[in-house]
Every structure is written in C-alpha cells, then in structure tokens.
C-alpha cells in the first residue's frame, strides 16, 4: 500500500514537472522524460509493472545525468568553478551551470523512483 501511495505522489509530481517544462527552451526533451516517468509510476499505482522499462529508462537517465555532470558548465563546474551558488534563487535559466545542476537533480529523482519500483517488484 505504501508503494502505491508513493507512486501516486511520483505520478502527480512528474506530471507537474512535465507541465512546468512546456515553456522551457527544450520541452522536446524534458516533457517526454518526465511524462515517461509519470506513466511508469502511474501504471504501478494500478498494479501494472514493467521492470525492463524501468531499467531501460534509468539507464538513459543516468547516462544523460553523467553528461550533465561533466559537461562544460555542468554540475562539476557548478561545484568546483562556481562554488555551488543556490539552485533555488531565480527559476530563470540565465546561468547554464545552475540549469544543468537542476536537470541533473531531476534525473536522479526520476531514476530513484524507477529503481524503487524495479527492486520492489523484482
């Protein structure tokens, strides 16, 4: 029951995140990322499980997260070069290292949700 509640929360959160990315500079990338996670979590909430899909999506998300981590003005630069300025100040994407650090965090959250489902139903 707890897992179903958690997946309903993830489902709703990922739907909101997808919606908020509609006016982003790259909605073609982020809306499908969040929608695929939302669909996976929504299906778990109605007792439909697709473990291979969770692994496939998590693999894609983690590869992309690694890219964002080591990319120029990515998460590594945000930590080392820019000394970790706040990620929650302005929601405008005027600094690429902040935008990439936020995107990296989103990918980790999605991956965690999908891996919870994978291991819970393995």
- Tell me: the pLDDT tens digits for 57-100? 999 999 999 999 999 888 888 888 877 777 776 655 667 877 88
**Which DSSP helix (H) or strand (E) runs through 22?**
none
49 φ, ψ to 5°?
A: -120, 135
CA–CA separation, 5 vs 45, rounded Å? 7
pLDDT at 83: 76
pLDDT at 3: 92
What's the token pair of residue 6?
A: 């958690």
Q: Which DSSP category does 46 fall into?
A: T
What's the token pair of residue 122?
A: 């393995």
75 φ, ψ to 5°?
A: -65, -40
**pTM for this predicted structure:** 0.88
């Amino acid at each position: 029951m707890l897992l179903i509640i958690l997946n309903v929360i993830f489902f709703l959160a990922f739907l909101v995140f997808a919606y908020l990315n509609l006016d982003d500079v790259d909605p073609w990338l982020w809306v499908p990322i969040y929608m695929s996670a939302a669909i996976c979590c929504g299906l778990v909430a109605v007792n439909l499980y697709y473990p291979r899909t969770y692994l496939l999506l998590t693999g894609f998300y983690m590869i992309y997260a690694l890219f964002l981590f080591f990319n120029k003005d990515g998460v590594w630069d945000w930590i080392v070069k820019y000394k970790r300025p706040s990620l929650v100040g302005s929601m405008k994407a005027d600094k690429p290292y902040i935008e990439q650090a936020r995107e990296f965090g989103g990918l980790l959250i999605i991956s965690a949700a999908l891996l919870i489902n994978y291991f819970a139903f393995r």
